[in-house]
A and B are shown apart, each in its own frame.
Chain A
Amino acid sequence: NFMLTQPHSVSESPEKTVTISCTGSSGSIANNYVQWYQQRPGSAPTTVIYEDKRRPSGVPDRFSGSIDSSSNSASLTISELKTEDEADYYCQSSDTSNLWVFGGGTKLTVL
Chain B
Amino acid sequence: EVRLVESGGGLVQPGGSQRLSCVGSGLTVSSNYMYWVRRAPGKGLEWVSLIYSDGKSYYADSVKGRFTISRDNSKNTLYLQMNSLRAEDTAVYYCTRTPYWGQGTLVTVSS
Given A90-B44, A105-B45: A50 and B98 interface contact (C-beta under 8 Å)? yes
In the complex, the answer to whether A37 meets B45 with C-beta atoms within 8 Å is yes
Alpha-carbon distance A104/B42, docked complex (angstroms):
11
Q: How far is the CB of B110 from chain A (nearest CB, A)?
A: 20
Q: Which single member of B35, B98, B102 contacts A44 (CB below 8 Å)?
A: B102
Size category, B interface:
10 to 19
Asked if B104 is at the interface of the complex by the 8 Å CB criterion, the answer is yes
Cβ < 8 Å to A, chain B residues 34-58: 35, 37, 39, 44-47, 50, 58
Q: How far is the CB of B24 from chain A (nearest CB, A)?
A: 15
Residues of A at under 8 Å CB distance from B? Answer: 35, 37, 39, 44-47, 50, 56, 88, 90, 92, 97, 99-105
Residues of B at under 8 Å CB distance from A? Answer: 35, 37, 39, 44-47, 50, 58, 92, 94, 96, 98-104
